[in-house]
Structure formats: C-alpha cells, structure tokens
Structure 1
Amino acid sequence: MMTWLLLAAGLVLLIVGADLLVKGAARLAASFGIPTLVIGLTVVAFGTSAPELAVSVKAAFAGEAELAIANVVGSNIANILLILGASAVILPLAISRQLIRQDVPIMVALSALVMWLVQDGSLDKIEAAVLAVGLLAYTWFLFWQGKKQGVECIDEEVEEMLHQPHPAWQSALFVVAGLALLVYGSGLLVDSAVQLASAWGVSEAVIGLTIVAVGTSMPEMVTSIVAAIKGERDIAVGNVVGSNIFNILCVLGLSGLASPMPLLAGEQLAGIDIPVMVAVAALCVPLFFVGAVLHRIEGAMFLVLYVAYTWYLVAVALQKPYLAQLQDGILYGLVPLVIAYVLVSLAWDFRKKRQSA
C-alpha cells in the first residue's frame, strides 16, 4: 500500500511540477520580450513532455535503462489508443488538414526510426544525438512555419498564461519549484515502479509500459478530454500527435544524451512493444484520412485495442496459462477485424468521393 501511495505522490508531483515549470518559464520568456509564438512552440511544447523526460532521465541514472525507453513507448501507445480513444467516444474528433498531411506522417516516420535505431537492443549516445538534432530541426521548422502562416499564438493556453503580468522573481520561483518537484517526483515514481516490479516478479519495462506511461500521460489526457468536452475537437488530436513527436525527439534524445549508459530495449520491448507503437501510429493515417474525423466507433476500437494490449502485457509478465489463446485471439481475431474495418472505411470514402466528383 505504501508503494502505491508513493507512486501516486510521484505522479502528482510530476504533474504539478510540469505545470509550474511551464507557467514560470513562459512568463519569464515573455518578460524578456520573446514572441508568443516562440513560447508556444518551445516552452509549452517541452512542458507537455516534462514528466516523461524527468522519469526517463531519473530511470537512466538509477540504472533502470530499459524503463527510460519503455516510458516513452508506453506513453505514445497510451496517448493514441487510450487518450484519443476516450476523447473520440466523448465526441467525434475533427482532424485538421495539417495533421493529416504533415504531423501524423512525421509521427509515423519517427516511430519507425526508433524501431530501426533500437534493433540492436539499445539506444547509444550517437543515436540519441540524432534524435536531439531532430528536435532542434523540428522546433525550428514549426517556428518557420508559424511565422510564414502569420500565426501570432499557438493556442489559447499561451495567451491565458501571459494575459496578466507577473513579477520576474515569482516566475523564477515557479521555474525552480517546478524543477524541484519534477526531480523529486520522478525519484518517487521510479523507485516505486522498481519496487512494484520486484514484488510482482515482472520487469521494470512492463511497469514502464503500463502504470508509469499512463501516469506521465495524465497532462495530455486531461488536456485532450477537456478539449473534447469543450468542443475544441482539433486541439484534442493535435495535442496527442505533438506530444508523441516530442516524446521521441525530446525525451529519448535528451535522456539518451544525459544517461551515463546506453538506454536499453530488451527482447520484448524491441520485438513487440516498439512495433506496436509503430503500428498504432500508422493506424492513424487511414483513420484520420477518412472524412478527417475520428468517430465514436473508432474511439471505442482504440480503447478495445488498448485493453487487449495491456492484458497481453500482464499475461506475458505473469506467465498466465491462457497466454497462447489470448495471443491467437489478438492476432487472428482482433487485428484482422481492425484491418477489415480500415479497408471498408477507405473503400466507402473512395466511393463517396467518386460519386460527388
């Protein structure tokens, strides 16, 4: 019970710390005359990945190098299947043209790049540096694109944050307090995750893919679900896709550079979980393309896929006797149904477009 309480406390500290860090850094940047566009593309974007980054860096320094990658992989899977699924069930989600043409393909390509980089079972400093350079390039591209399109502000969140002036000392205090909470919270979370893994007889990667991943994705979950409830349906999707891109480039890149050892990807992580991350990202391409809407039935399908994936992870970790039947049910039952649904949806959309032409 105490371990669970410490884990929950770690999650709360991470979420509060990330919020304080983003607010303090955004207001400090504004006080130095930095444009709102730059603040939105850097401070706010990095802030959404702050919990994952803190946990992955702490895990790497604690010698739990596999937990660092598992946290990112699990978060990206949960972001799409759990968060987008739940948001779409609440209200069908609109998909912007930019997401379909630009951001989703980037997310798929980066997911595939991670799968290729860790095929040898690790992510070394050179490979992490490639991702970190990609982070700089992607951030510069977003800034250039925003300036070209004449965008003055990324979203209402940034405007709201900067609406009222705050003294510099208060903003600096927010930054220091946020960093302190992130460091302390990540320590509690990683230590609790390792203790749970030992108590249950499973690997730290399994805990990272499930409990830790969902916990560090809580800010994205709250943002997306609130956006869906408020009718801001495109924000819900853009938040998830942007978070997944930053998780790969920022969290894996920076934690890999900061880690004293290569980040590890065990046999299951490299052979099953990362390919699942790639497949889930790729699934977004046809579903987002059809009608530029993620419908309730597709949201429900995402949730079913997430339950099946989590169930499979637990069954493998605990060596349940029904594992073979569960695996067959997913591979020969659920997956073909999803593929059939995608193909029928594409054919129906193609037919509608031909009739309206």
Structure 2
Amino acid sequence: MIALDFTLGLIALIAGAELLVRGASKLALSFGISPLVVGLTVVAFGTSAPEVAVSIRSAYAGQVDIAMGNVVGSNIFNVLFILGVAALISPLLVARQLIRQEVPIMLGCFVLLYLFALDGKISRFDGFAGVLLLGLYNVFLILQSRREQQRNGDESPPAKDGWDSKLWVQLLLIAAGLALLVFGARALVDAAVALARLFGLSELVIGLTIIAAGTSLPEVAASVLAAIRGQRDIAVGNVVGSNIFNVLGVLGVSSLVAPEALPVAPAMLNADLPVLIGIGIACLPIFFTGNVIARWEGALFLAFYVAYTAYVLMAAQQREAASAFGFAMGAFVAPLTVVTLLVVGWREYVQRRARKARK
C-alpha cells in the first residue's frame, strides 16, 4: 500500500507539473512575454511545482523536516545528479548570462538560506523576505528582457498556434495541473512518512533523499532531454532557475503557511546547508572554464552526489561509520577537488589572457 501511494503520488506530481508548465507557458507567451523570461520564471516554477506542493503540504501538516529536507535535498540533487548526468550525455554549454548573473544569484540564495537558519528556524519574516526577493527577481528579469528586445528590435509575437493556444484551454490545463499536484503531494508525503517509520529513518533523511529525488523528476526530464536534443544551455538554465525558486519561493511560502516557524535540524545546519553552499561555490570555476561543463566535471558531480547520499544514510544508521566517512571526505576528497577546480580555473584564466594578448 505504501509503494502504491508513493508511485501514484509521483505520477500525479509529474503529470501535474507537465500540465502546469504547458498551460502557464502558453498563457505567458500569449501575453507577449519572451521565451527567455518564460524559461527562467514559468518553467522554473513548473518544474519546481512538486517541491512547492510537497513542502507546503508538509509544513501545513507540521512535518517540517520533510519540508526543509525536500528543498535542500532537491537543490543538491539538481546540481550534482541532474547536471552530472546531462554533462555525461553531452558537454553542457553555459550561457554568459548564467555565469554573470544567475549562478551568483543562486549562490547568494544558498548563503541567505544559511543565514536565515542560523537561529534554528525559518520564520515567517524570513519567508516573507524570500517571497519578496523572488518577486523582485522576476520583475528584474522581465524588465531586462524587454530592454534586450528593444535593443535588438526583436518583439516576440504572441503564441497563436496549436490546440492549447486558446485561453480557456490554458486555464483548464493550469487548473488540472494544480489539482494533480495537490493530490500527488498528499499521497507522496503520507507514503514517505509511513516509509520513514517502517525503516526507522527520520523524516529529514527521507526528505533529503527519496522525496528530493522524486520531486526533482521534472527537472531530470527537462535537463536530460535538453542535453539529448542539443539544447544544452536550457539544461543548465532549468536547474539554476529551479534552485533559485526553491529557496526563495518554496521555503518562503512554506514558512508563511506553516502553523509556526519551521525549525531547522542541527544536522541540516551543520552538514547539509554547508554542503549546499560548497556546491554553489564549486559551480563558479566549473561553469567559468570555457563556458562548458565537461564530461569529467559531470562525473565529478555524480561521484559527489553518491558520496553525499551515502553519508546521509550512514549518519541515519551508523554514526561511527558516518563520522569516519565524513572525515575522509573532509580531509582528502574535498581538498583534492578544490585544488583541481582551482588549477582548472587558473589555467582557463591564463589561456584567456594569452588569447587577449595575441589580439
């Protein structure tokens, strides 16, 4: 019964996200919003809709560890697993705007989340600040896009083709998507809580691993398909945009609807959030080098996700083994990776200076 509820919940979440993305994207294009802004806002919201539904449902029901673990775990999964798999399929092109603007904003969101959590909770004020910042970010993207269109003389015409071009169809798709998300979130959360009790795992561990991976399936599908089709910049932009939305929007709204402030577990404050910030910092030199995420860098991301998941599971079951594993990661693997990234970044910097000198 638990497996059936979990499966049905996942299917409903994925189907709901697909309907919501299609309806909202067509509705936005019908009002003349550029595809770039649609991708960074509407599509990012759509692929994060399962996280929204699960976290809000969990926060409202008082299962706060699932709400927090889902957001933090999904962001870690998005960068390490999704970009890792997509880069192994095909080296990923990173657009200059992402390097200059979105990736630093994503890292800033991770740091802001850590600062919010330092007092042991995510308060309603923190949530309101996150939602406000997300709104300002979206307004900034729209204004930036319009300036670019005016500068280039490119006015995107409203989308009028296809069976879903009519307003009532778009509204129906959005409503159906939201209904499926609500149903899927309830089924998935209830099944996850039962699973946690069955195996003696905490709700935080379930949120960081199983639910985080499950609610990130829309991002997996979008980024992997984009990599296969050669739309490599979309694969990266989808992940970065979703991560920004997860921190500011998902946790922000969850803290606003929760009966009280969302408590932050000490394990998350001491381990998971620093890991998240470290991942954001690691993105800077990797994205910077040649504007491409190479296959070996994708493999490095995947290896780190496997190591992180192993640590989380061992910490839940065998604290001594987890301590030894964490020491090995901190004393050897992480420094070696940092040195590698610094060497790669320095080499790219020297090569760029040499190219400029030749010109």
Give TM-score, length-normalised by structure 1.
Answer: 0.92
1:332 is aligned to 331
User: Is residue 117–residue 127 contact of structure 1 (8 Å, CA) maintained in 2?
Assistant: yes
Deviation for aligned residue 1:61: 1.3
Separation in 2, partners of 1:176, 1:205: 31
Q: Give the secondary-structure state (helix, strand or coil) at the position aligned to 1:70.
A: helix
Between the aligned residues of both structures, percent identity stands at: 46
> Structure 1's 76 and 188: CA in aligned 2 closer, same or farther, altered over 3 A?
same
Letter in 1 for 2:102: D
Deviation for aligned residue 1:163: 4.1
1:35 is aligned to 32
Letter in 1 for 2:32: P
Q: 1:132 and 2:131 equivalent?
A: yes
User: Is residue 36–residue 152 contact of structure 1 (8 Å, CA) maintained in 2?
Assistant: no
User: Is residue 82–residue 224 contact of structure 2 (8 Å, CA) maintained in 1?
Assistant: yes
2:61 is aligned to 62
CA deviation string 1:278-335 (max 9, x = no partner) = 1101110111111111111110000000000000000000126522331222112210
User: Is residue 41–residue 143 contact of structure 1 (8 Å, CA) maintained in 2?
Assistant: no
2:176 is aligned to 177
Separation in 1, partners of 2:73, 2:27: 33
Q: Aligned residue pairs: how many? A: 350
User: Is residue 49–residue 247 contact of structure 1 (8 Å, CA) maintained in 2?
Assistant: yes
**Deviates further, 257-266 or 57-66:** 257-266
CA deviation string 1:146-204 (max 9, x = no partner) = 101106569xxx96x96445444433332222121111100011111111111121211
> Structure 1's 291 and 63: CA in aligned 2 closer, same or farther, altered over 3 A?
same
> Structure 1's 27 and 348: CA in aligned 2 closer, same or farther, altered over 3 A?
closer
CA RMSD of the aligned region, Å?
A: 2.0
Q: Give the secondary-structure state (helix, strand or coil) at the position aligned to 1:179.
A: helix
User: Is residue 51–residue 250 contact of structure 2 (8 Å, CA) maintained in 1?
Assistant: yes
Separation in 2, partners of 1:163, 1:169: 13
Letter in 2 for 1:126: F
Letter in 2 for 1:11: L
> Structure 1's 295 and 200: CA in aligned 2 closer, same or farther, altered over 3 A?
same
Q: How does 1:186-335 map to 2 (within 5 A)?
A: 186-319=185-318, 321-335=320-334
> Structure 1's 99 and 166: CA in aligned 2 closer, same or farther, altered over 3 A?
closer
Q: Give the secondary-structure state (helix, strand or coil) at the position aligned to 2:290.
A: coil
> Structure 1's 152 and 93: CA in aligned 2 closer, same or farther, altered over 3 A?
farther
> Structure 1's 297 and 27: CA in aligned 2 closer, same or farther, altered over 3 A?
closer
Letter in 2 for 1:112: V
Gaps of 5+ in 2: none
**Deviates further, 270-279 or 37-46:** 37-46
Letter in 2 for 1:138: Y
Letter in 1 for 2:314: A
Letter in 2 for 1:296: R
1:5 is aligned to 4
CA deviation string 1:72-101 (max 9, x = no partner) = 100100000000011111111111111111
Q: How does 1:19-98 map to 2 (within 5 A)?
A: 19-28=18-27, 34-37=31-34, 42-98=41-97
Separation in 1, partners of 2:258, 2:111: 23
CA deviation string 1:21-45 (max 9, x = no partner) = 2323444556xx5223365554333
Letter in 2 for 1:216: T
> Structure 1's 173 and 345: CA in aligned 2 closer, same or farther, altered over 3 A?
same
User: Is residue 95–residue 288 contact of structure 1 (8 Å, CA) maintained in 2?
Assistant: yes
Separation in 2, partners of 1:79, 1:181: 23
Q: Give the secondary-structure state (helix, strand or coil) at the position aligned to 2:194.
A: helix
User: Is residue 40–residue 238 contact of structure 2 (8 Å, CA) maintained in 1?
Assistant: no
User: Is residue 65–residue 262 contact of structure 1 (8 Å, CA) maintained in 2?
Assistant: no
Letter in 1 for 2:58: A
> Structure 1's 110 and 152: CA in aligned 2 closer, same or farther, altered over 3 A?
farther
2:147 is aligned to 148
**Deviates further, 212-221 or 322-331:** 322-331
> Structure 1's 42 and 347: CA in aligned 2 closer, same or farther, altered over 3 A?
closer
User: Is residue 103–residue 241 contact of structure 1 (8 Å, CA) maintained in 2?
Assistant: yes
Separation in 2, partners of 1:275, 1:322: 20
Give TM-score, length-normalised by structure 2.
Answer: 0.92
Letter in 1 for 2:33: T
